[in-house]
Amino acid sequence: MIVVTGGAGFIGSNLVAGLEARGVNELVVCDRLGQGDKWRNVAKREIADLVPPDRLLDYLDIHAREIECVFHMGAVSATTERDVDLIMRENFTLSLALWHWCARHGVRLIYASSAATFGDGAQGFDDDGSIGALERLRPLNAYGWSKHVYDRRVARLVDQGDVVPPQWAGLKFFNVYGPNEYHKGTMKSVAAHIYPRAARGEPARLFKSHRPDYADGGQLRDFVWVDDCVDVMLWLYDNTHVNGLFNVGTGAARSFADLAAAVFVALGREPRIEFVDTPAEIRDKYQYFTQAEIGRLRAAGYGRQFMPLEAGVSTYVRDFLAAPDPYR
């Protein structure tokens, strides 16, 4: 049995699909579905059980002998969320309880961290998981901090020789885009936001730059296709000896203007872009540059190449956004 927390969410539901495609038929999804269309993310999957997060630990206790691996993708992921107590309950307290449960029961744990832990990038984007390296990072928002404080706690537990899961890996996902992100509202990828306007022949809207060293639309991010994230997780699942904290990104930053142009080209349209002011409430929490350093992932043995931006966006538009059924 494999448990995927956040399994009806964006990355989680794509992982569930990837595991099912491999023939795993005992898949447990831990998530909240709410009143919207999030359920559609797993509507095509065969799942063994659906567990609400507040019942997760009880469920794990009952099924401890059956569980082989936990993929912990569940989190409050909105960078604009203001309820920090909620963020910490979901992203730190529950995550830490899950770490200890997996350690006690000898269950493998692969969990989602985030590139938001790097803050403005002043300290670079090295996925060094040591105590000293992590303490230098300064996340820009409560979401990034919640992921960072968990990474730091894991580093401390490992360093002091505590009992740890038989395999553990934390993944610092960069700017992921792809199918099944539609429920995320304002937190959807820029590609998903641009598509409806581009499909109507309207200009894409991108944030203006508020820094002299970046042109409008020239802000740079490491955009990574969701299937590549899933492939890394499946590789970790196959390679039980690999432990540590790893960046998951292409290693090549691209501009928002490049991304917008790729959406228009995928639709066979001439790119059109207009620029709007960055909302004041996020202006000082905005990452102008992210780029994954993936040397540790490569050194651990992961050799597959990541999808180039134009190819990924073209696949996303053709196979999902423009399809009658956009869900995986």
CATH number at residue 81: 3.40.50.720
3-state helix, strand, coil in the chain (%, to 5): 45, 15, 40
C-alpha dist (Å) from residue 240 to 32, 110, 165, 320: 29, 10, 11, 33
DSSP per-residue codes, 62-103: HTGGG--EEEE------TT---HHHHHIIIIIHHHHHHHHHH
Residue 242 inside a domain? The answer is yes
**pLDDT tier at 77 (50, 70, 90 boundaries)?**
confident
Q: How far apart are CA 316 and CA 328, in angstroms?
A: 11
Q: Which of 9, 4, 8, 22 is nearest to 176 (CA)?
A: 9
The residue annotated as part of the active site, out of 184, 208, 302, 327, is 184
The residue annotated as part of the active site, out of 44, 59, 111, 143, is 143
Residue 315 inside a domain? The answer is no
Residue 234 inside a domain? The answer is yes
DSSP per-residue codes, 114-148: -GGGGTTSTT------SHHHHTT---SSHHHHHHH
- Residue 50: exposure state from Cβ atoms within 10 A (0-12, 13-18, ≥19): middle
Residue 6 inside a domain? The answer is yes
pLDDT tens figures, 196-206: 999 999 999 99
Look at residue 220 in the predicted model and tell me its pLDDT: 96
Residue 274 inside a domain? The answer is no
pLDDT tops 90 at residue 2: yes
pLDDT tens figures, 298-323: 999 999 999 999 999 999 999 999 99
Look at residue 285 in the predicted model and tell me its pLDDT: 66
Residue 128 lies in domain? 2-178+223-251
Residue 151 inside a domain? The answer is yes
143 is catalytic: yes
pLDDT tens figures, 219-277: 999 999 999 999 999 999 999 999 999 999 999 999 999 999 999 999 999 999 999 99
Look at residue 287 in the predicted model and tell me its pLDDT: 86
- Residue 238: exposure state from Cβ atoms within 10 A (0-12, 13-18, ≥19): exposed
288 is catalytic: no
The total number of structural domains that make up the chain? 1
Residue 16 inside a domain? The answer is yes
Residue 290 inside a domain? The answer is no
pLDDT tops 90 at residue 39: yes
